[in-house]
Structure 1
Amino acid sequence: MLKGLIFDVDETLVYYEGYNHREWYEMWVMPALQEHGIKLDYETYKKTVTGELPRSYVERFGIDHVEFWKIVDAVNLRYRREMARLGRIKPFPDVGALGELKKMGLRLAAVSNASQECTEFVLNLFDLGKYFDVVYGKDYSNLDGVKPSPYLVEKALRVLGLRPEEAMMVGDSHHDVLAGKRAGMKTVNVTRFGEIGGADYYVKDLWELVGLIRKILGT
Structure 2
Amino acid sequence: MREDKMIKALIFDVDETLVYYESYDGKEWFEKWAKREIKNLEANVDFETYKKMVKGKLPRSWVENLGVDHVEFWKAIDRAKLKYRKWAAEQGLIKAFLDVDVLKTFKEMGLKMAAVSNASQDCTEFVLNLFGLKRYFDVVLGKDYKYLDGAKPNPYLIKKSLKALEVSPKEALVVGDSLSDILAAHGAGAKAVQVMRFGKIEGADYYVENLNELVQLVRSLIDKDL
SS at structure 2 position matched to 1:192:
coil
Determine the C-alpha separation between the residues in 2 that align with 1:129 and 1:19: 23
Using structure 2 for the length normalisation, give the TM-score: 0.95
What do the CA deviations read for 1:4-49 (whole angstroms, capped 9, x no partner)?
A: 0100000000000001111111111012212322111111110000
Whether the aligned pair in 1 keeps the contact of 2:10 and 2:173 (CA below 8 Å) is: yes
Is 1:161 matched with 2:156? Answer: no
Letter in 2 for 1:133: D
- SS at 1:217 equivalent: helix
Gap runs ≥5 in structure 1: none
Identify the match of residue 64 of structure 2 among 55, 59, 65.
59
> Does 1:83 pair with 2:88?
yes
Number of the residue aligned with 1:95: 100
Letter in structure 1 aligned against 2:153: P
Residues 1:173 and 2:175 are matched in the alignment: no
| 1:46 and 2:45 aligned | no
Q: Is the counterpart of residue 186 in structure 1 residue 191 in structure 2? A: yes
Q: Distance in 2 between matches of 1:82 and 1:45?
A: 22
- Which of 114, 120, 134 in structure 1 is aligned with 2:119? 114
- Whole-Å separation in 1 of the counterparts to 2:41 and 2:72: 11
Q: Percent identity?
A: 58
> Counterparts of 2:57 and 2:162 in 1: how far apart (Å)?
26
Q: Hey, what's the Cα distance between the residues in 2 that align with 1:188 and 1:32?
A: 36
Correspondence for 2:35: 30
On the 8 A contact 2:41/2:73 being kept in 1, the answer is no
Aligned structure 1 segments of 4 or more residues deviating by more than 4 angstroms: none
Question: C-alpha separation between the residues in 1 aligned to 2:88 and 2:66?
Answer: 30
**In structure 1, what residue type is equivalent to 2:118?**
N
What residue number does 2:15 align with?
A: 10
Structure 2 unaligned regions, length at least 5: 1-5
| Structure 2 residue 202 is matched with structure 1 residue 208 | no
Q: CA RMSD in A?
A: 0.8
Equivalent-residue separation in structure 2 for 1:20 and 1:127 (angstroms)? 25
TM-score by length of 1: 0.98
Deviations 1:192-219 (A, max 9, x none): 0001110000000000000111111119
